[in-house]
Structure 1
Amino acid sequence: MDLFDDLPEPTQPPVAAQQKSTRKKEEEEKDEEEEKSRKRKREDAESHADEEREEEEEEEKEEIKKVCREGLPVLRGYVAARRGEREEMQDAHVTLPDMSSCVSALPCQASCVSYFAVFDGHGGARASRFAAENLHHNLGKKFPSGETENLDKLIKKCLLDTFRQTDEDFLKKASSQKPVWKDGSTATCLLVVDDMVYVANLGDSRAVMCRMDAAGGGAADGQRKALTLALSKEHNPTIYEERMRIQRAGGTVRDGRVLGVLEVSRSIGDGQYKRCGVISTPDLRRCQLTANDRFIILACDGLFKVFSADEAVKFVLSVLQEGSVEQRSGLTEEEVRFEAACQQLASEAVRRGCADNVTVILVSIGY
């Protein structure tokens, strides 16, 4: 028999028990720290994977934009302005083939935005100059950005808001002057988002486009026929809907003019006629560009007093198709031709007897 079989188990001294408890606690803390470390590593790995996925998605979006951009039309604007027999040049214009600097952020589905506009002032040059200086900036501030479901609808609303804002700002400035400014201006603005054209128009300036017949028919010599497309609608008091609005507002139309004075029924400015039904709400039209489109003409009524839309298009085409051109440093042959066509069109309007200011913007469309 073992001498110690009947003896109770010896109890541990207090110090030894405390040391064991401390070691156990340290081991538990160590295990907990290791678990936290493993968790952090997993989270870091997941976060890194998310970042890589986001980078890949951004790169994919950029690639898509590059592909879209390569297939989009390239627009260039050429301007010609003539004072005619007027004492003052009351027209103004803006050409921005790349309007991105005025827009804080483009919509996700848009790659580029262009803007061209002509303003025909009356009663002075202040309204036309104000519109030329401010309208595109107001447009840039209100332009839709980010993810958008109905870009077309948003752009149309943006244009309407922009015209209203520009008119209100000018009228506020005009009414604060002594004497009050009575200037007014037409406005024909061409906004191109990728390959979609939006035209916003007030008054009697116009926008027309030359589209070549895709089928190549209609010409005896087999050449492609040029089609003239109206991109804007004129507003003058002789049009039934315009006259009715003016009369409902308490105004009258005499000799084809509002109160026998104002030739247009919609404009920026003209504060004294706003109570008579003259409004700043533009007519909006939309058109998608195609590879058959050659150019767009934006011009004040000074041009169209002596040219029909068809005649203006044919005149430009005749200059573009001339045999020889004078080479100019820094310009391609096509750019020289368009520049010449624009200048010659404005000069021909004056030669035909137009005494009014003449401003022409010729926008070339290339692919």
Structure 2
Amino acid sequence: MSKFAQQHLISSIVPDPVTGAVEAAQLVDAFEHVDAMFFKRFGPKAAPPLSDTSDGGPQTQSAATMLESGTTAVVAIIHNDTHVLLAHVGDSRALLSHRGTAIPLTYDHKPTRADESARIELAGGRIEGYAVQRVMGRLAMTRAIGDPHLKQYGIVPTPDVHARVLTDHDNFLVLASDGLFDVVSNDEVVDAVQEHQSVDEAAETLVNLALSYGSRDDITVAVVRLRGWEAFCVPSSTTKGFIQVNTRNMTRPSS
């Protein structure tokens, strides 16, 4: 599912035909459109019953697997290096370094949030579990793209969208999955990035740091340079005002 979202999410973001800008409504539409595409292709009506193992072939197993597949997502749209529009579902996060201080820009969609658990219960779902709370005992998030088998219980692809004005004191953004943020604190993320001249090196360092801390989840990291990069980070020869983005995606092999 993550590859499906990667292939279709950005291309589904349609700027306003008059202004050319991307607003909150376009981001919401894009998330919901990709989810609808996935549901149409792999939803309950498209896939065989999960108990159907008549031929045991890979096609049946693949359909059943996709029926229970979902992904988190976080998207940042930067306008003229002065404004950022963020959208996310699940527990992928956006973190801003402002004057070297870590500022979370997103808040996880998890059953531990009172507003999210109430929404799930209103939709007919249940929150189960003690050490880790899960929707219907299955999913540790309350919003995701995909997961067709849990749609009826309140799992939605609708993102939270936030806008923020960027200033000369904003150094960089980090967009990452829980494979990073579950094991590396926000302050450690900022401290690690500031030691590098390039976003490429910074992203790679964060991935390696998460692995050294024993992360057992998929790790995706993007570091985005902002106007205040050189006021806080190691000086770089890169042209000022140019926003660089680099992504490092590492999937640990299953044991």
- For the criterion TM > 0.5, the same-fold answer is yes
Alignment partners' CA distance in 2, 1:248 and 1:177? 27
Alignment partner of 1:246 out of 98, 114, 120 = 120
1:343 maps to 204
Question: Which one-letter code corresponds to 1:143 in the other structure?
Answer: P
CA deviation string 1:32-68 (max 9, x = no partner): xxxxxxxxxxxxxxxxxxxxxxxxxxxxxxxxxxxxx
CA deviation string 1:131-171 (max 9, x = no partner): 111111111xx3102259xx6xx711111111111110111
Question: Which one-letter code corresponds to 1:301 in the other structure?
Answer: D
Alignment partner of 1:203 out of 90, 105, 109 = 90
Give the deviation of 1:192 after TM superposition. Answer: 1.1
State, as a whole percentage, how many aligned pairs show the same letter: 33
Question: Aligned to 2:210, what secondary structure does the other structure show?
Answer: helix
Alignment partner of 1:155 out of 14, 23, 30 = 23
1:365 maps to 226
Question: Which one-letter code corresponds to 2:184 in the other structure?
Answer: F
Question: Aligned to 1:188, what secondary structure does the other structure show?
Answer: strand
Alignment partners' CA distance in 2, 1:274 and 1:202? 14
**In terms of Rg, which structure is larger?**
1
Alignment partners' CA distance in 2, 1:247 and 1:275? 11
Cα gap change, 1:147 to 1:136, in 2 (>3 Å): closer
Alignment partners' CA distance in 1, 2:188 and 2:176? 13
Question: Aligned to 2:9, what secondary structure does the other structure show?
Answer: helix
2:55 maps to none
Find out whether 1:186 has 2:82 as its counterpart: no
2:180 maps to 303
Alignment partners' CA distance in 2, 1:187 and 1:341? 21
Question: Which one-letter code corresponds to 2:89 in the other structure?
Answer: L
Higher relative contact order, chain-length normalized (CA < 8 Å, sep 6+): 1
Alignment partners' CA distance in 2, 1:251 and 1:147? 41
Query: Number of residues paired by the alignment?
Result: 206
Structure (1 or 2) with the greater helix fraction: 1
Question: Aligned to 1:144, what secondary structure does the other structure show?
Answer: coil
Q: TM-score, normalised by structure 2?
A: 0.77
2:216 maps to 355
Find out whether 1:172 has 2:58 as its counterpart: no
Question: Which one-letter code corresponds to 1:130 in the other structure?
Answer: F
Alignment partner of 2:15 out of 139, 143, 156 = 143
CA deviation string 1:13-46 (max 9, x = no partner): xxxxxxxxxxxxxxxxxxxxxxxxxxxxxxxxxx
Question: Which one-letter code corresponds to 2:209 in the other structure?
Answer: E
Give the deviation of 1:232 after TM superposition. Answer: 1.2
Q: TM-score, normalised by structure 1?
A: 0.54
Cα gap change, 1:272 to 1:315, in 2 (>3 Å): same
Give the deviation of 1:288 after TM superposition. Answer: 1.4
1:230 maps to 104
Question: Which one-letter code corresponds to 1:233 in the other structure?
Answer: Y
Question: Which one-letter code corresponds to 1:211 in the other structure?
Answer: H
Question: Aligned to 1:232, what secondary structure does the other structure show?
Answer: coil
Alignment partners' CA distance in 2, 1:147 and 1:304? 36
Alignment partners' CA distance in 2, 1:359 and 1:207? 12
Alignment partners' CA distance in 1, 2:72 and 2:153? 17
Question: Aligned to 1:360, what secondary structure does the other structure show?
Answer: strand
Alignment partners' CA distance in 2, 1:196 and 1:147? 15
Question: Aligned to 1:159, what secondary structure does the other structure show?
Answer: helix
Runs of at least 5 residues in structure 2 that lack an aligned partner in the other structure: 49-62, 228-240, 242-255
Question: Aligned to 1:250, what secondary structure does the other structure show?
Answer: coil
Give the deviation of 1:312 after TM superposition. Answer: 0.8
Alignment partner of 1:283 out of 130, 151, 160 = 160
Alignment partners' CA distance in 1, 2:165 and 2:180? 25
Question: Which one-letter code corresponds to 1:362 in the other structure?
Answer: V
1:260 maps to 137
Runs of at least 5 residues in structure 1 that lack an aligned partner in the other structure: 1-126, 213-225, 321-333
